[in-house]
Amino acid sequence: MNVTKDVIHDLLPLYLAGECSRDTRGLIDEYIASHPETKRLLDRMASPSPALPQVSAPAQSAEVRALAKTRSNIRMRSVLMGVAIFFSLAPFSFVYTGEKTYALLAAAPAFALGYGVIGAACWIGYFAMKRKSGNF
Protein backbone atom coordinates (compact mmCIF):
# COMPACT_ATOMS: atom_id res chain seq x y z
CA MET A 1 0.00 0.00 0.00
CA ASN A 2 1.28 3.43 -0.93
CA VAL A 3 0.87 6.05 1.84
CA THR A 4 0.23 9.51 0.49
CA LYS A 5 1.29 12.87 1.83
CA ASP A 6 -2.33 13.68 2.80
CA VAL A 7 -2.58 10.54 4.94
CA ILE A 8 0.64 11.46 6.76
CA HIS A 9 -0.56 15.04 7.31
CA ASP A 10 -3.82 13.67 8.74
CA LEU A 11 -1.82 11.54 11.18
CA LEU A 12 0.56 14.28 12.35
CA PRO A 13 -1.69 15.60 15.17
CA LEU A 14 -1.99 12.07 16.56
CA TYR A 15 1.76 11.63 16.24
CA LEU A 16 2.42 14.85 18.17
CA ALA A 17 -0.09 13.96 20.87
CA GLY A 18 1.47 10.50 21.26
CA GLU A 19 -1.85 8.80 20.60
CA CYS A 20 -0.89 6.63 17.61
CA SER A 21 0.39 3.06 17.64
CA ARG A 22 4.07 2.10 17.34
CA ASP A 23 3.50 0.98 13.76
CA THR A 24 1.94 4.32 12.79
CA ARG A 25 4.73 6.18 14.59
CA GLY A 26 7.31 4.12 12.63
CA LEU A 27 5.51 4.86 9.36
CA ILE A 28 5.51 8.59 10.04
CA ASP A 29 9.20 8.50 11.12
CA GLU A 30 10.13 6.79 7.84
CA TYR A 31 8.14 9.32 5.80
CA ILE A 32 9.66 12.27 7.67
CA ALA A 33 13.18 10.93 7.07
CA SER A 34 12.65 11.02 3.32
CA HIS A 35 10.53 14.20 3.13
CA PRO A 36 12.17 17.25 4.74
CA GLU A 37 9.19 19.57 4.01
CA THR A 38 6.98 17.33 6.17
CA LYS A 39 9.66 17.43 8.89
CA ARG A 40 9.55 21.26 8.82
CA LEU A 41 5.74 21.14 9.04
CA LEU A 42 5.96 18.80 12.03
CA ASP A 43 8.47 21.11 13.72
CA ARG A 44 6.16 24.09 13.19
CA MET A 45 3.23 22.14 14.59
CA ALA A 46 5.27 21.06 17.63
CA SER A 47 6.60 24.54 18.42
CA PRO A 48 4.45 26.60 20.76
CA SER A 49 2.43 29.24 19.03
CA PRO A 50 2.97 32.87 19.97
CA ALA A 51 1.10 33.67 23.10
CA LEU A 52 -2.15 35.44 22.66
CA PRO A 53 -2.77 38.40 24.92
CA GLN A 54 -4.35 37.19 28.11
CA VAL A 55 -7.73 38.68 28.84
CA SER A 56 -8.60 38.43 32.45
CA ALA A 57 -11.97 36.90 33.11
CA PRO A 58 -14.25 38.94 35.31
CA ALA A 59 -13.94 37.91 38.89
CA GLN A 60 -16.58 35.55 40.11
CA SER A 61 -17.51 38.04 42.79
CA ALA A 62 -18.44 40.56 40.07
CA GLU A 63 -20.70 37.97 38.46
CA VAL A 64 -22.25 37.11 41.80
CA ARG A 65 -22.85 40.80 42.54
CA ALA A 66 -24.45 41.31 39.12
CA LEU A 67 -26.72 38.31 39.66
CA ALA A 68 -27.69 39.50 43.13
CA LYS A 69 -28.46 42.99 41.81
CA THR A 70 -30.57 41.55 38.98
CA ARG A 71 -32.52 39.36 41.41
CA SER A 72 -33.06 42.32 43.71
CA ASN A 73 -34.34 44.47 40.82
CA ILE A 74 -36.73 41.75 39.69
CA ARG A 75 -38.00 41.28 43.25
CA MET A 76 -38.50 45.06 43.67
CA ARG A 77 -40.29 45.27 40.34
CA SER A 78 -42.62 42.44 41.38
CA VAL A 79 -43.40 44.13 44.69
CA LEU A 80 -44.06 47.43 42.93
CA MET A 81 -46.44 45.70 40.53
CA GLY A 82 -48.35 44.06 43.38
CA VAL A 83 -48.66 47.32 45.31
CA ALA A 84 -49.65 49.17 42.14
CA ILE A 85 -52.41 46.66 41.40
CA PHE A 86 -53.68 46.86 44.98
CA PHE A 87 -53.79 50.65 45.13
CA SER A 88 -55.22 50.91 41.60
CA LEU A 89 -58.15 48.69 42.54
CA ALA A 90 -58.62 49.99 46.11
CA PRO A 91 -60.76 53.02 45.08
CA PHE A 92 -63.28 50.59 43.57
CA SER A 93 -63.53 48.53 46.75
CA PHE A 94 -66.37 48.42 49.26
CA VAL A 95 -66.35 49.18 52.98
CA TYR A 96 -68.57 47.28 55.39
CA THR A 97 -69.29 49.13 58.67
CA GLY A 98 -71.37 46.44 60.35
CA GLU A 99 -74.70 47.91 59.34
CA LYS A 100 -74.22 49.04 55.81
CA THR A 101 -71.89 48.52 52.84
CA TYR A 102 -70.42 51.59 51.15
CA ALA A 103 -68.48 52.01 47.93
CA LEU A 104 -65.18 53.67 48.89
CA LEU A 105 -65.25 55.90 45.83
CA ALA A 106 -68.71 57.25 46.76
CA ALA A 107 -68.38 57.29 50.56
CA ALA A 108 -64.82 58.62 50.87
CA PRO A 109 -63.62 60.16 47.62
CA ALA A 110 -60.54 61.70 49.29
CA PHE A 111 -59.32 58.25 50.37
CA ALA A 112 -60.10 56.84 46.95
CA LEU A 113 -58.12 59.64 45.31
CA GLY A 114 -55.19 59.04 47.68
CA TYR A 115 -55.19 55.34 46.86
CA GLY A 116 -55.33 56.16 43.15
CA VAL A 117 -52.35 58.54 43.44
CA ILE A 118 -50.32 55.91 45.32
CA GLY A 119 -51.26 53.34 42.65
CA ALA A 120 -50.23 55.69 39.83
CA ALA A 121 -46.88 56.40 41.53
CA CYS A 122 -46.24 52.66 41.88
CA TRP A 123 -47.07 52.09 38.22
CA ILE A 124 -44.67 54.86 37.21
CA GLY A 125 -41.94 53.28 39.34
CA TYR A 126 -42.68 49.84 37.92
CA PHE A 127 -42.50 50.97 34.29
CA ALA A 128 -39.36 53.03 34.98
CA MET A 129 -37.64 49.93 36.39
CA LYS A 130 -38.90 47.82 33.50
CA ARG A 131 -37.55 50.31 30.95
CA LYS A 132 -34.21 50.51 32.77
CA SER A 133 -33.83 46.73 32.64
CA GLY A 134 -34.46 46.72 28.88
CA ASN A 135 -37.68 44.68 29.00
CA PHE A 136 -39.90 47.43 27.66
| pLDDT beyond 90 at 78 | yes
**What is the pLDDT at residue 126?**
93
Contact 129, 77 (CB under 8 A): yes
Q: Is residue 82 part of a domain?
A: yes
Q: Is residue 65 part of a domain?
A: no
- Segment 26-37 shows an average pLDDT of 89
Q: Is residue 55 part of a domain?
A: no
pTM of the model: 0.50
Q: Which of 7, 2, 62 is nearest to 38 (CA)?
A: 7
Distance between CA atoms of 66 and 39, rounded to whole angstroms? 51
Containing structural domain, residue 15: 5-46
- Segment 56-66 shows an average pLDDT of 77
State how far the alpha carbon of 112 is from the alpha carbons of 47, 88, 95, 126, 130, in Å: 79, 9, 12, 21, 27
**What is the pLDDT at residue 56?**
74
Q: Which pLDDT band holds residue 136 (cuts at 50, 70, 90)?
A: low
What is the separation of C-alpha 49 from the centre of its chain, rounded to a whole number of angstroms?
A: 31
**What is the pLDDT at residue 42?**
85
> What total of structural domains would you count in the chain?
2
What is the average pLDDT value for the chain, to the nearest integer? 86
Contact 31, 8 (CB under 8 A): yes
